[in-house]
């Protein structure tokens, strides 16, 4: 245990994913030794994120307006939707620079063990997007694990009666 301020920082850092008590301590002392201007820059970025970043009302991706950059881009193909679990998956697909369609971020995957069901995900929002018939292809790019497979299977079954081509990218 340390005195007030530094212990407070260690406690806060320790709540971050992947950062245990030891890691929190290491980061705290790194920041303590760093250039104060850099540390203030980090603090400002954190505050800016809480104030400006929200979730796109259409696709659920991170956005700085009502809709994200991709949904606002009229050059993107509105007939293809790539369904992913998290905003970081959108970033991963965008990095490859091949996909020119739109996205739908579910906000996770079906996981009975963790108590996550379809109603906890943005499945209803996806069905709403498919309702007008503009979308003709759905790429189910959920993660290649048990939960991701279950989610892809669930969605594929939901849209079975619709005139939508469903594909699942090969994993690995």
- Which spans of this chain sit near Zn ion (rule: CB under 5 A)? 56, 58-59, 61, 68, 71
Helix axes 123-130, 146-158, angle to 10 degrees: 40
Q: Of all helices (H) and strands (E), which one includes residue 48?
A: helix 36-52
Least distance to Zn ion, CB of residue 64, Å: 11
End-to-end CA distance of the chain: 44
CB of 74 to Zn ion, least distance (A): 13
In this complex, which beta carbon is closest to Zn ion, that of residue 128 or of residue 171? 128
Residue with smaller CB distance to Zn ion, 58 or 142:
58
Distance between CA 31 and CA 81 in Å, rounded? 42
Q: Which residue lies nearer to Zn ion by CB, 61 or 151?
A: 61
The distance of closest approach from Cβ of residue 145 to Zn ion in the complex, given in angstroms and rounded to an integer, is 25
Q: Tell me the closest approach of the beta carbon of residue 98 to Zn ion, in angstroms.
A: 19
Residue nearer to Zn ion on the CB measure, 59 or 140: 59
Long-range contacts of 143-152 (CB under 8 A, 24+ apart): 143/85, 143/89, 143/109, 144/171, 144/172, 145/109, 147/109, 147/110, 147/111, 147/116, 148/85, 148/109, 150/109, 150/110, 150/111, 151/85, 151/106, 151/109, 151/110, 151/121, 152/83
In angstroms, give the least distance from the CB of 57 to Zn ion: 8
Q: Which is nearer to Zn ion, 16 or 65 (CB)?
A: 65
């Amino acid at each position: 245990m340390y005195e007030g301020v530094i212990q407070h920082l260690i406690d806060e850092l320790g709540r971050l994913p992947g950062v245990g008590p030891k890691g929190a301590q290491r980061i705290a002392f790194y920041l303590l030794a760093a250039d104060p201007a850099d540390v203030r820059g980090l603090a400002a970025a954190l505050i800016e994120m809480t104030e400006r970043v929200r979730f796109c009302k259409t696709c659920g991706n991170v956005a700085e307006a009502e809709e994200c950059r991709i949904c606002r881009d009229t050059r993107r193909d509105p007939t293809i939707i790539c369904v992913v679990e998290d905003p970081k998956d959108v970033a991963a697909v965008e990095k490859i620079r091949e996909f020119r369609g739109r996205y739908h971020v579910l906000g996770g995957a079906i996981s009975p063990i963790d108590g996550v069901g379809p109603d906890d995900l943005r499945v209803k929002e996806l069905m709403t997007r498919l309702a007008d018939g503009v979308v003709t292809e759905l790429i189910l790019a959920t993660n290649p694990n048990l939960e991701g497979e279950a989610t892809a299977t669930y969605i594929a079954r939901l849209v079975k009666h619709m005139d939508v081509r469903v594909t699942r990218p090969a994993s690995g």
